[in-house]
Structure 1
Amino acid sequence: MPSIVAIPHTAADAERTPVAADRLVAGTPTQAVANAYSDPGEAFHCGVWEGDVGAWRVHYTEHEFCHMLAGRVRIRGDDGSETVVAAGESFVIPAGFRGIWDVLEPARKLYAVYEPAG
C-alpha cells in the first residue's frame, strides 16, 4: 500500500541555481526546487519552489497548480494578459502558456505539476 507523502513548506535544503541566461529578462535570480513526490510514470510531481527577485521567460508544457506561501509574483502572458499573485493565493498555469515569470518579492510556492503524455 502506498504511503502518505508530506510536502515541505520550504526548500531550505535544496540547491539554489541561477535562472538560465537564455531565459533571463531582468535581475540575477536564483531558484530552488524541493520535489517531494513523483508518480511512478513521471507524469505528476509536487513539492515546493523558492525564487529570488527577477524575471525570466517561461513556456509551460505541463499543467501546474500553485499555492503561494510567501512573496508576490507577476505572470505576464505573451497574449498581453497579466496576473499578480501573493502569499495565500492559488492559481493554475495551463500547458501551452508562454510569457514572463516576474518575482516582485522573494517568493515560495507549493506546486503540483501534471505533464500530459505526448
Structure 2
Amino acid sequence: MSTLTATAPHLHGPSSLDDLLDWGPVETMIKGQSHTYGRLISKGPNGEWECGVWVCTPGKWECHVTRDEFCHFLAGRCTYEHENGDVIEVSPDTAAFFPKDWKGVCTVHETVRKTYMIK
C-alpha cells in the first residue's frame, strides 16, 4: 500500500512492490540489455530531487551519476566499478552514496531493486 499524496509521501513494501512503471532500457549498454522499472515516491516541483524504487535487469553498462544519489539495495546482486578501479560489490541490504559525477561501469548479475534519493 502506498500513500503518495500525503504530507509525508511514503510507500509500504518497496521490496515486493509489483505495480512498477516501465522506465525503458539502459541506453549506455556494453553487454546484454538491462531494462529498468520504477515508481516515484516523491519529486521536487522542478525535478531538483526525487526518490523512489528502481529495478534493473542483468547486463553491463556505463554509469555516470549526474546528481548526488543515495541508494539502499533491497534485492539482487551487482558490481559498480569506478573509473579509478575502486569496486563496490552490491548485495541485498547494501547502502551506497554516489556523489555527483561518479563515473564507472555497472554490472548487474541478478536483477537489482533499490530505494533511492537523488538530489
TM over 0.5: same fold? Answer: yes
Deviation at 1:16, TM superposition (A): 4.7
Number of the residue aligned with 1:91: 96
- Does residue 102 (structure 1) correspond to residue 107 (structure 2)? The answer is yes
Distance 1:39 1:87 in 2: 28
Number of the residue aligned with 2:9: 5
Deviation at 1:3, TM superposition (A): 0.6
What is the Cα-based RMSD across aligned positions, in Å? 1.5
Contact 1:60–1:98 (Cα < 8 Å) also in 2: yes
Distance 2:81 2:18 in 1: 25
Output the amino acid matched with 1:15. D
- Does residue 113 (structure 1) correspond to residue 115 (structure 2)? The answer is no
TM-score by length of 1: 0.86
For structure 2, list consecutive stretches of 5 or more residues without a partner in the other structure. 1-5
* Counterpart pick for 2:24 among 17, 23, 27: 17
Number of the residue aligned with 2:47: 42
* Counterpart pick for 2:34 among 29, 37, 56: 29
Output the amino acid matched with 1:5. P
TM-score by length of 2: 0.85
Task: Kindly report structure 1 stretches of 4+ aligned residues shifted beyond 6 Å.
Answer: none
Distance 1:37 1:13 in 2: 14
